[in-house]
Chains A and B, each alone.
Chain A
Amino acid sequence: MNLDYDFMLETLWLALPGILVTFEIALVASAAAVPVGLVLGIIRARRVPLLSQLARVYISFIRGTPLILQIFLVYNSFPSILAVVFARLGVEYNIFNLNPVVYAFIVFSISETAVLAEVFRAAITTVDKSQLEAAYSVGMTAFQGYRRIVIPQAMSAALPSLCNSITDLIKATSLAFTMSVMEITAIAKKQGAMKLSFIEAYLDIFLLYCILIFTVEKVLKILEKRARAYQQA
Protein backbone atom coordinates (compact mmCIF):
# COMPACT_ATOMS: atom_id res chain seq x y z
CA MET A 1 0.00 0.00 0.00
CA ASN A 2 1.63 3.22 -1.13
CA LEU A 3 0.43 6.48 0.27
CA ASP A 4 0.85 9.72 -1.61
CA TYR A 5 2.47 11.72 1.18
CA ASP A 6 2.74 14.94 -0.83
CA PHE A 7 -0.96 14.92 -1.49
CA MET A 8 -1.66 14.10 2.14
CA LEU A 9 0.40 17.04 3.37
CA GLU A 10 -1.16 19.36 0.82
CA THR A 11 -4.68 18.32 1.81
CA LEU A 12 -3.81 18.65 5.48
CA TRP A 13 -2.87 22.28 4.88
CA LEU A 14 -6.02 22.89 2.85
CA ALA A 15 -8.25 21.34 5.50
CA LEU A 16 -6.63 23.20 8.38
CA PRO A 17 -8.79 26.35 8.02
CA GLY A 18 -11.79 24.01 8.34
CA ILE A 19 -11.00 23.87 12.05
CA LEU A 20 -12.12 27.49 12.31
CA VAL A 21 -15.50 26.61 10.80
CA THR A 22 -15.76 23.71 13.23
CA PHE A 23 -15.07 26.02 16.16
CA GLU A 24 -17.44 28.61 14.77
CA ILE A 25 -20.31 26.12 14.69
CA ALA A 26 -19.48 24.76 18.14
CA LEU A 27 -19.21 28.26 19.58
CA VAL A 28 -22.50 29.54 18.13
CA ALA A 29 -24.32 26.37 19.18
CA SER A 30 -22.93 26.58 22.72
CA ALA A 31 -23.71 30.28 22.99
CA ALA A 32 -27.32 29.55 22.10
CA ALA A 33 -27.60 26.32 24.06
CA VAL A 34 -26.18 27.36 27.43
CA PRO A 35 -28.76 30.04 28.30
CA VAL A 36 -31.75 28.31 26.68
CA GLY A 37 -30.69 24.94 28.06
CA LEU A 38 -30.38 26.43 31.53
CA VAL A 39 -33.89 27.89 31.38
CA LEU A 40 -35.30 24.59 30.09
CA GLY A 41 -33.35 22.72 32.77
CA ILE A 42 -34.88 24.90 35.50
CA ILE A 43 -38.33 24.47 33.97
CA ARG A 44 -37.88 20.71 34.01
CA ALA A 45 -36.41 20.63 37.51
CA ARG A 46 -39.22 22.79 38.90
CA ARG A 47 -41.84 20.84 36.94
CA VAL A 48 -43.48 24.02 35.68
CA PRO A 49 -46.84 22.84 34.34
CA LEU A 50 -47.27 22.66 30.56
CA LEU A 51 -43.85 24.18 29.82
CA SER A 52 -42.17 21.24 31.49
CA GLN A 53 -44.14 18.76 29.39
CA LEU A 54 -43.38 20.67 26.21
CA ALA A 55 -39.69 20.76 27.07
CA ARG A 56 -39.82 17.05 27.77
CA VAL A 57 -41.26 16.23 24.34
CA TYR A 58 -38.64 18.41 22.66
CA ILE A 59 -35.76 16.84 24.61
CA SER A 60 -37.12 13.36 24.03
CA PHE A 61 -37.36 13.96 20.29
CA ILE A 62 -33.81 15.28 20.00
CA ARG A 63 -32.40 12.49 22.14
CA GLY A 64 -34.48 9.87 20.38
CA THR A 65 -33.53 10.65 16.78
CA PRO A 66 -30.14 10.57 15.06
CA LEU A 67 -28.43 13.90 14.50
CA ILE A 68 -28.23 13.23 10.78
CA LEU A 69 -32.02 13.00 10.68
CA GLN A 70 -32.33 16.32 12.48
CA ILE A 71 -29.91 17.81 9.98
CA PHE A 72 -32.02 16.61 7.06
CA LEU A 73 -35.23 17.83 8.70
CA VAL A 74 -33.85 21.32 9.26
CA TYR A 75 -31.98 21.48 5.98
CA ASN A 76 -35.12 20.55 4.06
CA SER A 77 -37.66 22.62 5.93
CA PHE A 78 -35.95 25.76 7.13
CA PRO A 79 -35.24 27.30 3.72
CA SER A 80 -38.95 27.47 2.93
CA ILE A 81 -39.79 28.61 6.46
CA LEU A 82 -37.16 31.33 6.29
CA ALA A 83 -38.41 32.32 2.83
CA VAL A 84 -41.90 32.93 4.24
CA VAL A 85 -40.48 34.85 7.19
CA PHE A 86 -38.34 36.99 4.90
CA ALA A 87 -41.30 37.65 2.60
CA ARG A 88 -43.44 38.74 5.56
CA LEU A 89 -40.73 41.04 6.79
CA GLY A 90 -40.32 42.39 3.28
CA VAL A 91 -36.66 41.45 3.08
CA GLU A 92 -35.48 41.18 -0.51
CA TYR A 93 -33.12 38.24 -0.24
CA ASN A 94 -32.86 35.00 -2.13
CA ILE A 95 -32.88 32.37 0.57
CA PHE A 96 -30.98 29.92 -1.58
CA ASN A 97 -27.95 32.19 -1.59
CA LEU A 98 -27.71 31.83 2.17
CA ASN A 99 -24.44 30.34 3.42
CA PRO A 100 -25.31 26.78 4.52
CA VAL A 101 -23.34 27.32 7.70
CA VAL A 102 -26.44 29.16 8.97
CA TYR A 103 -28.36 25.89 8.86
CA ALA A 104 -25.53 24.21 10.71
CA PHE A 105 -25.85 26.88 13.41
CA ILE A 106 -29.59 26.17 13.64
CA VAL A 107 -29.32 22.36 13.79
CA PHE A 108 -26.47 22.20 16.26
CA SER A 109 -28.07 24.87 18.48
CA ILE A 110 -31.33 22.94 18.56
CA SER A 111 -29.70 19.64 19.40
CA GLU A 112 -27.16 21.03 21.86
CA THR A 113 -29.91 22.90 23.73
CA ALA A 114 -31.71 19.63 24.39
CA VAL A 115 -28.52 17.95 25.59
CA LEU A 116 -27.65 20.80 27.93
CA ALA A 117 -31.22 21.05 29.24
CA GLU A 118 -30.84 17.50 30.53
CA VAL A 119 -27.39 18.24 31.96
CA PHE A 120 -28.65 21.30 33.81
CA ARG A 121 -31.81 19.57 34.99
CA ALA A 122 -29.76 16.79 36.54
CA ALA A 123 -27.35 19.31 38.06
CA ILE A 124 -30.11 21.42 39.58
CA THR A 125 -31.75 18.41 41.21
CA THR A 126 -28.47 17.66 42.99
CA VAL A 127 -28.71 20.98 44.82
CA ASP A 128 -30.67 20.40 47.98
CA LYS A 129 -34.12 21.96 48.14
CA SER A 130 -33.27 23.60 51.44
CA GLN A 131 -30.78 25.84 49.64
CA LEU A 132 -33.57 27.57 47.74
CA GLU A 133 -35.74 27.66 50.86
CA ALA A 134 -32.92 29.32 52.75
CA ALA A 135 -32.70 31.92 49.99
CA TYR A 136 -36.44 32.55 50.28
CA SER A 137 -36.19 32.79 54.05
CA VAL A 138 -33.74 35.67 53.84
CA GLY A 139 -36.09 37.49 51.50
CA MET A 140 -34.66 36.68 48.07
CA THR A 141 -36.98 36.31 45.13
CA ALA A 142 -37.02 33.05 43.18
CA PHE A 143 -34.86 34.63 40.49
CA GLN A 144 -32.31 35.86 43.01
CA GLY A 145 -32.32 32.51 44.76
CA TYR A 146 -31.57 30.68 41.55
CA ARG A 147 -29.01 33.16 40.28
CA ARG A 148 -27.08 33.54 43.52
CA ILE A 149 -27.55 30.26 45.35
CA VAL A 150 -28.78 27.35 43.20
CA ILE A 151 -27.15 27.91 39.82
CA PRO A 152 -23.58 28.43 41.09
CA GLN A 153 -23.80 25.17 43.02
CA ALA A 154 -25.49 23.34 40.16
CA MET A 155 -22.81 24.54 37.74
CA SER A 156 -20.03 22.78 39.56
CA ALA A 157 -22.04 19.56 39.43
CA ALA A 158 -22.78 20.12 35.74
CA LEU A 159 -19.21 20.90 34.74
CA PRO A 160 -18.00 17.38 33.81
CA SER A 161 -21.07 16.65 31.68
CA LEU A 162 -20.86 20.12 30.18
CA CYS A 163 -17.27 19.51 29.07
CA ASN A 164 -18.22 16.11 27.67
CA SER A 165 -21.09 17.57 25.70
CA ILE A 166 -18.80 20.19 24.19
CA THR A 167 -16.34 17.58 22.92
CA ASP A 168 -19.30 15.57 21.63
CA LEU A 169 -20.54 18.67 19.86
CA ILE A 170 -17.20 19.20 18.14
CA LYS A 171 -17.21 15.57 17.04
CA ALA A 172 -20.75 15.97 15.74
CA THR A 173 -19.86 18.98 13.60
CA SER A 174 -18.14 16.51 11.26
CA LEU A 175 -21.65 15.84 9.96
CA ALA A 176 -21.97 19.41 8.72
CA PHE A 177 -20.51 18.26 5.40
CA THR A 178 -23.95 16.80 4.60
CA MET A 179 -25.17 20.41 4.49
CA SER A 180 -22.25 21.33 2.21
CA VAL A 181 -20.65 23.39 4.95
CA MET A 182 -16.95 23.57 4.12
CA GLU A 183 -15.40 22.34 7.36
CA ILE A 184 -12.58 19.81 7.89
CA THR A 185 -14.45 16.78 6.59
CA ALA A 186 -15.95 18.51 3.57
CA ILE A 187 -12.69 20.09 2.40
CA ALA A 188 -10.63 16.92 2.65
CA LYS A 189 -13.43 14.83 1.14
CA LYS A 190 -13.56 17.13 -1.84
CA GLN A 191 -9.80 16.97 -2.33
CA GLY A 192 -9.90 13.20 -2.05
CA ALA A 193 -12.67 12.93 -4.62
CA MET A 194 -10.84 15.20 -7.05
CA LYS A 195 -7.65 13.15 -6.95
CA LEU A 196 -9.36 9.83 -6.24
CA SER A 197 -7.08 9.50 -3.23
CA PHE A 198 -9.69 8.74 -0.62
CA ILE A 199 -7.40 6.92 1.75
CA GLU A 200 -5.02 9.86 2.12
CA ALA A 201 -7.88 12.35 2.48
CA TYR A 202 -9.64 10.35 5.17
CA LEU A 203 -6.39 9.75 7.03
CA ASP A 204 -6.01 13.54 7.09
CA ILE A 205 -9.49 14.05 8.52
CA PHE A 206 -8.88 11.33 11.07
CA LEU A 207 -5.57 12.88 12.11
CA LEU A 208 -6.96 16.40 12.37
CA TYR A 209 -9.96 15.37 14.46
CA CYS A 210 -7.88 13.18 16.74
CA ILE A 211 -5.48 15.99 17.54
CA LEU A 212 -8.21 18.62 17.73
CA ILE A 213 -10.51 16.70 20.06
CA PHE A 214 -7.67 15.37 22.18
CA THR A 215 -6.44 18.95 22.71
CA VAL A 216 -9.91 20.31 23.43
CA GLU A 217 -10.53 17.51 25.92
CA LYS A 218 -7.26 18.20 27.74
CA VAL A 219 -7.86 21.97 27.83
CA LEU A 220 -11.38 21.48 29.16
CA LYS A 221 -10.05 19.08 31.82
CA ILE A 222 -7.58 21.71 32.99
CA LEU A 223 -10.24 24.43 33.03
CA GLU A 224 -12.60 22.14 34.89
CA LYS A 225 -9.95 21.39 37.49
CA ARG A 226 -9.29 25.07 38.00
CA ALA A 227 -12.99 25.89 38.28
CA ARG A 228 -13.42 23.22 40.92
CA ALA A 229 -10.20 24.00 42.73
CA TYR A 230 -11.99 25.22 45.83
CA GLN A 231 -13.48 21.78 46.33
CA GLN A 232 -10.19 19.96 46.63
CA ALA A 233 -9.05 22.06 49.57
Chain B
Amino acid sequence: MNPRFIFETFLKLLPYLTVTLEYVSLSLLFGTLLGFLAAAAKLGRNRPLRWLANAYTTILRCTPSVVLLFLVFFILPAVMRNYLRINVDAWPALFFVVVTFTLFLGASQSEVMRGAYLAVDRGQFEAGVSVGMTEWQSFRRVVLPQAFFFALPNLTNTVIYLFKEGSLAFTIGVVDIMGKAYLVNATNFGLKALDVYLALALIYWPLSVFFEWLGRLLERRFGYTQVKPEAGKTAESVRGRGRSSIRGVRA
Protein backbone atom coordinates (compact mmCIF):
# COMPACT_ATOMS: atom_id res chain seq x y z
CA MET B 1 0.00 0.00 0.00
CA ASN B 2 1.26 3.38 -1.01
CA PRO B 3 -0.64 6.33 0.54
CA ARG B 4 0.79 8.79 -1.97
CA PHE B 5 -0.35 6.73 -4.93
CA ILE B 6 -3.77 6.21 -3.34
CA PHE B 7 -4.16 9.96 -2.93
CA GLU B 8 -3.04 10.67 -6.49
CA THR B 9 -5.49 8.10 -7.84
CA PHE B 10 -8.22 9.56 -5.66
CA LEU B 11 -7.66 12.96 -7.29
CA LYS B 12 -7.60 11.32 -10.72
CA LEU B 13 -10.95 9.61 -10.13
CA LEU B 14 -12.75 12.55 -8.58
CA PRO B 15 -13.65 14.44 -11.82
CA TYR B 16 -15.50 11.35 -13.08
CA LEU B 17 -17.97 11.73 -10.26
CA THR B 18 -19.95 13.99 -12.60
CA VAL B 19 -20.65 11.00 -14.84
CA THR B 20 -21.82 8.98 -11.84
CA LEU B 21 -24.07 11.79 -10.66
CA GLU B 22 -25.35 12.19 -14.21
CA TYR B 23 -26.80 8.68 -14.44
CA VAL B 24 -27.99 8.83 -10.84
CA SER B 25 -30.01 11.98 -11.45
CA LEU B 26 -31.30 11.00 -14.90
CA SER B 27 -32.34 7.52 -13.73
CA LEU B 28 -34.00 9.04 -10.68
CA LEU B 29 -35.95 11.47 -12.83
CA PHE B 30 -37.16 9.00 -15.47
CA GLY B 31 -37.54 6.17 -12.98
CA THR B 32 -39.82 8.26 -10.82
CA LEU B 33 -41.94 9.17 -13.83
CA LEU B 34 -42.18 5.54 -14.90
CA GLY B 35 -42.91 4.52 -11.32
CA PHE B 36 -45.71 7.05 -11.17
CA LEU B 37 -47.28 5.65 -14.34
CA ALA B 38 -46.90 2.06 -13.11
CA ALA B 39 -48.37 2.94 -9.72
CA ALA B 40 -51.30 4.65 -11.45
CA ALA B 41 -51.82 1.51 -13.55
CA LYS B 42 -51.74 -0.70 -10.45
CA LEU B 43 -54.29 1.45 -8.64
CA GLY B 44 -56.43 2.04 -11.70
CA ARG B 45 -59.54 0.22 -12.87
CA ASN B 46 -58.15 -1.05 -16.15
CA ARG B 47 -57.55 -4.77 -15.61
CA PRO B 48 -55.03 -5.53 -18.41
CA LEU B 49 -53.00 -2.46 -17.48
CA ARG B 50 -53.01 -3.47 -13.84
CA TRP B 51 -51.86 -6.95 -14.74
CA LEU B 52 -49.15 -5.55 -16.98
CA ALA B 53 -47.83 -3.26 -14.25
CA ASN B 54 -47.76 -6.08 -11.71
CA ALA B 55 -46.01 -8.44 -14.11
CA TYR B 56 -43.43 -5.75 -14.90
CA THR B 57 -42.70 -5.23 -11.21
CA THR B 58 -42.39 -8.95 -10.50
CA ILE B 59 -40.04 -9.58 -13.41
CA LEU B 60 -37.81 -6.63 -12.61
CA ARG B 61 -37.63 -7.64 -8.96
CA CYS B 62 -36.35 -11.03 -10.03
CA THR B 63 -33.59 -9.70 -12.27
CA PRO B 64 -30.03 -8.92 -11.14
CA SER B 65 -28.88 -5.44 -12.17
CA VAL B 66 -25.95 -6.61 -14.24
CA VAL B 67 -28.14 -9.02 -16.19
CA LEU B 68 -30.64 -6.35 -17.18
CA LEU B 69 -27.80 -3.98 -18.01
CA PHE B 70 -26.31 -6.50 -20.45
CA LEU B 71 -29.71 -7.33 -21.84
CA VAL B 72 -30.55 -3.69 -22.50
CA PHE B 73 -27.11 -3.04 -23.90
CA PHE B 74 -27.34 -5.86 -26.44
CA ILE B 75 -31.06 -6.03 -27.20
CA LEU B 76 -32.12 -2.41 -27.31
CA PRO B 77 -29.92 -1.49 -30.32
CA ALA B 78 -31.23 -4.49 -32.26
CA VAL B 79 -34.84 -3.73 -31.41
CA MET B 80 -34.50 -0.07 -32.27
CA ARG B 81 -32.75 -0.84 -35.54
CA ASN B 82 -35.26 -3.45 -36.64
CA TYR B 83 -38.52 -1.98 -35.47
CA LEU B 84 -37.94 1.75 -35.17
CA ARG B 85 -35.24 2.17 -37.83
CA ILE B 86 -33.11 4.12 -35.38
CA ASN B 87 -29.40 3.47 -35.34
CA VAL B 88 -28.10 3.79 -31.78
CA ASP B 89 -24.58 2.52 -32.46
CA ALA B 90 -23.06 5.92 -31.91
CA TRP B 91 -25.09 6.71 -28.81
CA PRO B 92 -23.19 6.96 -25.55
CA ALA B 93 -23.20 3.88 -23.31
CA LEU B 94 -24.61 6.11 -20.59
CA PHE B 95 -27.94 5.96 -22.42
CA PHE B 96 -28.21 2.22 -21.77
CA VAL B 97 -27.32 2.67 -18.11
CA VAL B 98 -30.07 5.24 -17.70
CA VAL B 99 -32.58 2.98 -19.50
CA THR B 100 -31.63 0.03 -17.28
CA PHE B 101 -31.94 1.86 -14.00
CA THR B 102 -35.05 3.69 -15.13
CA LEU B 103 -36.62 0.26 -15.62
CA PHE B 104 -35.48 -0.90 -12.18
CA LEU B 105 -36.57 2.27 -10.48
CA GLY B 106 -39.92 2.29 -12.23
CA ALA B 107 -40.64 -1.09 -10.66
CA SER B 108 -39.47 -0.29 -7.15
CA GLN B 109 -40.84 3.25 -7.09
CA SER B 110 -44.25 2.08 -8.27
CA GLU B 111 -44.48 -0.10 -5.15
CA VAL B 112 -43.31 2.75 -2.93
CA MET B 113 -45.82 5.15 -4.47
CA ARG B 114 -48.65 2.65 -4.31
CA GLY B 115 -47.94 2.13 -0.62
CA ALA B 116 -47.67 5.85 0.03
CA TYR B 117 -50.93 6.53 -1.81
CA LEU B 118 -52.78 3.84 0.13
CA ALA B 119 -51.35 5.15 3.40
CA VAL B 120 -53.26 8.40 2.91
CA ASP B 121 -56.77 8.00 4.26
CA ARG B 122 -59.49 7.83 1.62
CA GLY B 123 -61.39 10.43 3.65
CA GLN B 124 -58.79 13.04 2.74
CA PHE B 125 -59.61 12.66 -0.92
CA GLU B 126 -63.34 12.71 -0.25
CA ALA B 127 -62.99 15.81 1.91
CA GLY B 128 -61.27 17.53 -0.99
CA VAL B 129 -64.05 16.58 -3.39
CA SER B 130 -66.71 17.61 -0.88
CA VAL B 131 -65.46 21.19 -0.80
CA GLY B 132 -65.85 21.40 -4.56
CA MET B 133 -62.46 20.33 -5.90
CA THR B 134 -62.36 18.15 -8.98
CA GLU B 135 -60.96 14.65 -8.48
CA TRP B 136 -57.64 15.70 -9.99
CA GLN B 137 -57.42 18.79 -7.81
CA SER B 138 -58.19 16.79 -4.71
CA PHE B 139 -55.53 14.28 -5.63
CA ARG B 140 -52.90 16.86 -6.45
CA ARG B 141 -53.53 19.27 -3.60
CA VAL B 142 -54.61 16.98 -0.78
CA VAL B 143 -53.47 13.41 -1.36
CA LEU B 144 -50.18 13.89 -3.21
CA PRO B 145 -48.44 16.13 -0.65
CA GLN B 146 -49.28 13.70 2.13
CA ALA B 147 -48.27 10.67 0.09
CA PHE B 148 -44.96 12.36 -0.69
CA PHE B 149 -44.00 12.38 2.97
CA PHE B 150 -44.71 8.69 3.27
CA ALA B 151 -42.47 8.04 0.27
CA LEU B 152 -39.65 10.27 1.49
CA PRO B 153 -37.61 7.73 3.50
CA ASN B 154 -37.35 5.59 0.39
CA LEU B 155 -35.85 8.41 -1.63
CA THR B 156 -32.55 8.27 0.25
CA ASN B 157 -32.35 4.51 -0.14
CA THR B 158 -33.05 4.88 -3.84
CA VAL B 159 -30.30 7.44 -4.36
CA ILE B 160 -27.78 5.28 -2.48
CA TYR B 161 -28.93 2.23 -4.44
CA LEU B 162 -28.41 4.05 -7.75
CA PHE B 163 -25.08 5.45 -6.66
CA LYS B 164 -23.78 2.00 -5.76
CA GLU B 165 -25.43 -0.21 -8.38
CA GLY B 166 -24.56 2.28 -11.10
CA SER B 167 -20.94 1.25 -10.65
CA LEU B 168 -21.81 -1.75 -12.83
CA ALA B 169 -21.93 0.64 -15.78
CA PHE B 170 -18.21 0.03 -16.28
CA THR B 171 -19.10 -3.44 -17.61
CA ILE B 172 -20.52 -1.81 -20.75
CA GLY B 173 -17.72 0.72 -21.04
CA VAL B 174 -19.05 3.78 -19.25
CA VAL B 175 -16.20 5.75 -17.72
CA ASP B 176 -17.54 6.89 -14.37
CA ILE B 177 -15.50 6.73 -11.16
CA MET B 178 -15.63 2.94 -11.26
CA GLY B 179 -14.80 2.84 -14.96
CA LYS B 180 -11.89 5.21 -14.51
CA ALA B 181 -10.55 3.12 -11.63
CA TYR B 182 -10.76 0.09 -13.89
CA LEU B 183 -8.78 1.91 -16.57
CA VAL B 184 -6.16 3.23 -14.13
CA ASN B 185 -5.76 -0.31 -12.84
CA ALA B 186 -5.27 -1.57 -16.39
CA THR B 187 -2.62 1.04 -17.22
CA ASN B 188 -0.68 -0.15 -14.17
CA PHE B 189 -1.00 -3.73 -15.44
CA GLY B 190 -3.05 -4.58 -12.36
CA LEU B 191 0.03 -4.27 -10.16
CA LYS B 192 -1.46 -1.58 -7.96
CA ALA B 193 -4.99 -2.91 -7.99
CA LEU B 194 -5.46 -2.77 -4.23
CA ASP B 195 -4.38 0.88 -4.04
CA VAL B 196 -6.58 1.88 -6.95
CA TYR B 197 -9.68 0.26 -5.51
CA LEU B 198 -8.95 1.63 -2.06
CA ALA B 199 -8.83 5.10 -3.59
CA LEU B 200 -12.20 4.37 -5.21
CA ALA B 201 -13.61 3.20 -1.88
CA LEU B 202 -12.55 6.56 -0.45
CA ILE B 203 -15.02 8.19 -2.84
CA TYR B 204 -17.91 5.77 -2.47
CA TRP B 205 -17.86 5.31 1.26
CA PRO B 206 -17.96 8.93 2.48
CA LEU B 207 -20.52 9.88 -0.14
CA SER B 208 -22.84 7.03 0.82
CA VAL B 209 -22.55 8.05 4.46
CA PHE B 210 -23.26 11.64 3.42
CA PHE B 211 -26.40 10.66 1.48
CA GLU B 212 -27.62 8.66 4.44
CA TRP B 213 -27.04 11.58 6.77
CA LEU B 214 -28.83 13.90 4.37
CA GLY B 215 -31.76 11.52 4.23
CA ARG B 216 -32.05 11.42 8.00
CA LEU B 217 -31.94 15.21 8.06
CA LEU B 218 -34.74 15.48 5.49
CA GLU B 219 -36.77 12.91 7.34
CA ARG B 220 -36.44 14.76 10.60
CA ARG B 221 -37.30 17.99 8.87
CA PHE B 222 -40.35 16.78 6.95
CA GLY B 223 -40.91 13.41 8.58
CA TYR B 224 -43.99 12.12 10.25
CA THR B 225 -45.06 15.40 11.75
CA GLN B 226 -47.46 15.57 8.82
CA VAL B 227 -49.28 12.48 10.05
CA LYS B 228 -51.99 13.10 12.60
CA PRO B 229 -52.57 10.21 14.96
CA GLU B 230 -55.62 8.21 14.03
CA ALA B 231 -58.38 7.60 16.50
CA GLY B 232 -57.42 4.90 18.95
CA LYS B 233 -53.71 5.22 18.24
CA THR B 234 -51.40 7.21 20.46
CA ALA B 235 -49.11 9.83 19.01
CA GLU B 236 -46.22 7.72 20.28
CA SER B 237 -46.98 4.77 18.02
CA VAL B 238 -47.27 7.02 14.99
CA ARG B 239 -44.01 8.77 15.63
CA GLY B 240 -42.06 5.54 16.00
CA ARG B 241 -43.46 4.18 12.77
CA GLY B 242 -40.63 1.75 12.13
CA ARG B 243 -41.16 0.12 15.47
CA SER B 244 -44.89 0.23 15.51
CA SER B 245 -45.13 -1.56 12.19
CA ILE B 246 -43.19 -4.48 13.61
CA ARG B 247 -45.24 -4.30 16.77
CA GLY B 248 -48.33 -4.30 14.60
CA VAL B 249 -47.26 -7.52 12.94
CA ARG B 250 -46.61 -9.14 16.27
CA ALA B 251 -49.87 -8.06 17.81
List chain A positions with a Cβ less than 8 A from chain B. 1, 60-61, 63-69, 72-73, 76-77, 126, 156-157, 171-172, 174-175, 185, 189, 198-199, 202-203, 205-206, 209-210, 212-214, 217, 231
Smallest CB–CB gap between B154 and chain A, Å? 15
A179 to chain B, nearest CB (A): 13
Q: Once the chains bind, are B194 and A73 in contact (CB under 8 Å)?
A: yes
A68 touches B205 (CB 8 A): no
Q: Binary interface profile of B, 41-77, with partner A (CB < 8 Å = 1, else 0)?
A: 0000000000000000011011111111011001100
Taking a contact as CB atoms under 8 Å apart, the answer to whether A209 and B209 are in contact is no
Inter-chain contact A199/B74, CB cutoff 8 Å: yes
A199→B64 contact, CB < 8 A: no
- 27 A-B pairs (CB sep. < 8 Å): A1-B78, A1-B82, A61-B201, A61-B205, A64-B205, A64-B212, A65-B164, A66-B164, A67-B164, A68-B178, A69-B204, A73-B201, A126-B243, A126-B247, A157-B249, A157-B250, A174-B64, A202-B74, A203-B71, A203-B75, A206-B68, A209-B62, A209-B64, A210-B63, A213-B61, A213-B62, A231-B250
Residues in B180-229 with C-beta less than 8 Å from chain A: 190, 193-194, 197-198, 200-201, 204-209, 212
Given A69-B167, A73-B201, list of 7 further CB < 8 A pairs?
A64-B205, A68-B178, A73-B197, A73-B198, A77-B194, A157-B246, A199-B74
User: Does B165 belong to the interface (CB within 8 Å)?
Assistant: yes
In the complex, how many residue pairs between chain A and chain B have their CB atoms under 8 Å apart? 107
Q: Are B58 and A214 in contact (CB under 8 A)?
A: yes
B19 surroundings in chain A (CB, below 8 A): none
Mark B residues whose CB is within 8 Å of A.
58-59, 61-68, 70-71, 74-75, 78-79, 82-83, 164-165, 167-168, 170, 178, 190, 193-194, 197-198, 200-201, 204-209, 212, 243, 246-247, 249-250
